[in-house]
Amino acid sequence: MLRFENLSKRYGERVIFQDLHFDSAAGCVALNDESGSGKSTLISILAGAIEADSGDVWIGGHALRAAPRAAQALLTYVPEDCMPSPDPTGRDYLQRVAAARNTTVGDAALALADRFGLTPHLEKRFEQMSFGTRKKFFLTSAVLGETSVLIADEPVGGLDAAARAVLVDLFPTLAQTRTVFFSSYDDAFSDACEAKRLTFADLARRG
């Protein structure tokens, strides 16, 4: 469901990473590497937020370069700081995501939002929300529609213990039918999600 080949990125003279490879069907994968290693850069490339210097990404069989709309229609992306714009309310955001995926905000999404403690925040604008509350709305959107891949950058950042426990339940559940690929500095969280832990060295190694 998520595949990338020969991904490379540099800024000026600094090589961030080079010739990365990955191929996975359903499952939960954590990129656990040291701070400053390029985790956020890779996550942004996989989500189509920035371009790689070389290589390509496939989401649900669609190449991100050649068919970006088809690829991103099958993707839930949770950046580190989740601010789509200051104006929409939490409910507006979920409805917009649902409409883009040809579905509605049903009982499952509202139940997950409630588990995350979001019910009191549904009518608040994103600019009024805390860092963690915004992130929980993005995570809730993962259950809207039929997606193939969830990509998240440090998903537990800003979450309290109760929300973290919900996420520990959510990620393995989603991983039964899709690829969940996230970066994390937290080995304990990765293990709690039963994620396969990888480093950049693993991604640079074929086979």
User: Which residues have C-beta within 8 Å of that of residue 42, sequence separation ≥ 6?
Assistant: 7, 9, 17, 20, 31, 183
Q: Do the bridges between strand 27-31 and strand 14-24 make them parallel or antiparallel, or are there none, so unpaired?
A: unpaired
Tokens 């604008």 — which residue? Answer: 125
Lowest mean pLDDT among 7-21, 74-88, 142-156, 177-191: 74-88
Q: What is the mean pLDDT of residues 26-48?
A: 90
Distance from C-alpha of 38 to C-alpha of 102, rounded to nearest angstrom: 34
Residue range 3-15, pLDDT digits in tens:
999 999 999 889 9
Residue range 92-109, pLDDT digits in tens:
999 999 999 999 999 999
The overall average pLDDT reported for the chain is 93
User: Is 185's pLDDT higher than 90?
Assistant: no
Q: Do the bridges between strand 149-153 and strand 75-78 make them parallel or antiparallel, or are there none, so unpaired?
A: parallel
Q: Which two tokens stand for residue 164?
A: 């973290």
Distance from C-alpha of 29 to C-alpha of 43, rounded to nearest angstrom: 12
Q: Cα 183 from chain centroid?
A: 9
User: Is 81's pLDDT higher than 90?
Assistant: no
What percent of the chain has pLDDT above 90? 84
pLDDT for 198 equals: 94
Nearest CA to 73 among 44, 39, 98? 98
Q: Which residue has the higher pLDDT, 186 or 163?
A: 163
**Is residue 38 packed enough to be buried (19+ CB in 10 Å), middle (13-18) or exposed (0-12)?**
buried
Q: 44: pLDDT confidence band, cut at 50, 70 and 90?
A: very high
Domain ranges of the chain: 2-203
Torsion on CA atoms 193, 41, 99, 142, rounded to nearest 10 = 0
User: Which residues have C-beta within 8 Å of that of residue 13, sequence separation ≥ 6?
Assistant: none
Tokens 């990338």 — which residue? Answer: 4
Query: Could you give the angle at the alpha carbon of 195 between the alpha carbons of 192 and 197, nearest 5°?
Result: 115
Residue range 104-135, pLDDT digits in tens:
999 999 999 999 999 999 999 999 999 999 99
Selected from 1.10.1240.10, 3.40.50.300, 3.50.50.100, 2.30.30.90, the CATH number assigned to the domain covering 2-203 reads: 3.40.50.300
User: Is 37's pLDDT higher than 90?
Assistant: no
User: Is 206's pLDDT higher than 80?
Assistant: no
Q: 84: pLDDT confidence band, cut at 50, 70 and 90?
A: confident
Return the SS3 of 81. Answer: coil
Residues in the chain: 207
Q: Do the bridges between strand 62-63 and strand 54-59 make them parallel or antiparallel, or are there none, so unpaired?
A: antiparallel
Q: Which two tokens stand for residue 96?
A: 């917009």
